[in-house]
Amino acid sequence: MISDINFKGLLSIVIPAFNEQEVLPTFHERLATVLDALTIDAEILYVNDGSRDGTLEVMKILRAHDKRVAILDLSRNFGKEIAMTAGLEHARGDAVVVIDADLQDPPELIPELVKHWQQGWDMVYAQRIERRGETMVKKFTAYWFYRFMQRVGRRVHIPENVGDFRLLSRRAVDSLLQLREQHRFMKGLFAWIGFPQIGVPYQRDPRFAGRSTWDYWRLWNFALDGITSFTTTPLKWASYLGLITAFFSFAYGSIIVLQKLLYGNPVKGYPSLMVVVLFLGGIQLIFLGIIGEYLGRMFDETKRRPLYFVSSFDSPHQNSHAQGKSAMELDRE
């Protein structure tokens, strides 16, 4: 493991910002204070996500006063997930911290994140202990959302009470950037790449200034994104529901035919009509289910995710592809 002292390297801080002109100066001041106290060099990458206020101008002023600042200006508002991805792609650091601009994520936690990274963790996420300034409804919906995701996404564990505030090692960043899907459900993607991950508890503060761009409609869409980009479970339900309904249609159709043959039916045309309706309905449901199964597979294929990431590869025939081992570590083996 790497020791604290003499630790060389670059730490990138990625900050997606959309209409944050009021908070940015305060944010930068607090961040700079924290970074000054660290021994490791830092790069501060502000991502302007098509702000409609003076955010970009504020960034430029900060840039003029602080050599560590870099500005990535997107052509329009793409949403936080994309802004964050763009930032990760342009960050040069050996470790990258993603943090909100609105001071809900305390920059003072960064040294703690860095410490864990230096101890060998690839993903250090900040975990809220308490949600201050948030409504009961938001807490409640968040709780159920995680419960649901836990049930459907069996292998990938998405930690609770965790936002995007976290530190990623270089190999975690490189892995994450290989996931190119359009609907970027970041909480899921962060968890999906694997590698040693650990949580650091903290208190999340209410928004400092400006207002949250999240309303319930967006929250709902966010949940939908999470469910539909990480599971084909709803599609599976549709298949089984279709099969079961089709089974009952066929059973009922047979009963009508038998009744007609044994006792006759006083209503003319009813048995044949009913049998045709049930038969067609049943056939359609079965085929919808089959289409659903294919659709689910296509959905998985179109994401074009890598199949796996390797944490380390230990073989007597190490070739130039082997990576991630320092001379010191090899010595010890």
Residue with tokens 């840039």: 63
Residue with tokens 């035919």: 257
- To Mg ion, the closest distance from the beta carbon of 276 in angstroms equals 58
Contact window for ligand UDP (CB under 6 A) among 37-45, 99-107, 139-147, 249-257: 99-107
On whether the CB atoms of residues 124 and 198 are closer than 8 A, the answer is: yes
- 122: contact with ligand UDP by CB under 6 A: no
Which of positions 14-53 make contact with ligand UDP (CB under 6 A)?
16-18, 20, 49
On whether the CB atoms of residues 107 and 22 are closer than 8 A, the answer is: no
- 102: contact with ligand UDP by CB under 6 A: yes
- 165: contact with ligand UDP by CB under 6 A: no
Q: Which of 102, 105, 122, 164 binds Mg ion (CB under 5 A)?
A: 102
Q: Which of 83, 97, 179, 193 binds ligand UDP (CB under 6 A)?
A: 83
- To ligand UDP, the closest distance from the beta carbon of 71 in angstroms equals 13
Selection from Mg ion, ligand UDP, none that 247 binds (CB < 5 to 8 A by kind) is: none
What are the C-alpha distances in Å from 307 to residues 179, 195, 302?
10, 14, 13
- 79: contact with ligand UDP by CB under 6 A: yes
- To ligand UDP, the closest distance from the beta carbon of 133 in angstroms equals 11
- 95: contact with ligand UDP by CB under 6 A: no
Selection from ligand UDP, Mg ion, none that 105 binds (CB < 5 to 8 A by kind) is: none
The SS3 assignment for 268 reads: coil
Q: Please tell me the distance from the alpha carbon of residue 333 to that of residue 328, in angstroms, as a whole number.
A: 9
Cβ atoms < 10 Å from Cβ of 118: 16
Q: Please tell me the distance from the alpha carbon of residue 198 to that of residue 167, in angstroms, as a whole number.
A: 10
Cβ atoms < 10 Å from Cβ of 227: 18
Q: Please tell me the distance from the alpha carbon of residue 32 to that of residue 234, in angstroms, as a whole number.
A: 46
On whether the CB atoms of residues 78 and 50 are closer than 8 A, the answer is: yes
Cβ atoms < 10 Å from Cβ of 95: 24
Q: Which of 21, 85, 104, 161 binds Mg ion (CB under 5 A)?
A: 104
Selection from Mg ion, ligand UDP, none that 49 binds (CB < 5 to 8 A by kind) is: ligand UDP
Helix%, strand%, coil% for the chain, nearest 5:
50, 15, 35
Binding string to ligand UDP for residues 191 to 220, with x set by CB under 6 A, is what?
A: ---------------------xxx------
On whether the CB atoms of residues 42 and 10 are closer than 8 A, the answer is: yes
Instruction: Considering the complex, state which of residue 63 and residue 207 has its C-beta at the smaller distance from ligand UDP.
Output: 207
Contact window for Mg ion (CB under 5 A) among 104-112, 186-194, 222-230, 258-266: 104-112
- Write the single-letter amino acid at 23: V
Cβ atoms < 10 Å from Cβ of 21: 18
- 88: contact with ligand UDP by CB under 6 A: no
- To ligand UDP, the closest distance from the beta carbon of 25 in angstroms equals 14
Residues interacting with ligand UDP, by CB under 6 A?
A: 16-18, 20, 49, 77, 79-80, 83, 100-102, 104, 212-214
Provide the binding-site residues for Mg ion, judged by CB under 5 A. 102, 104
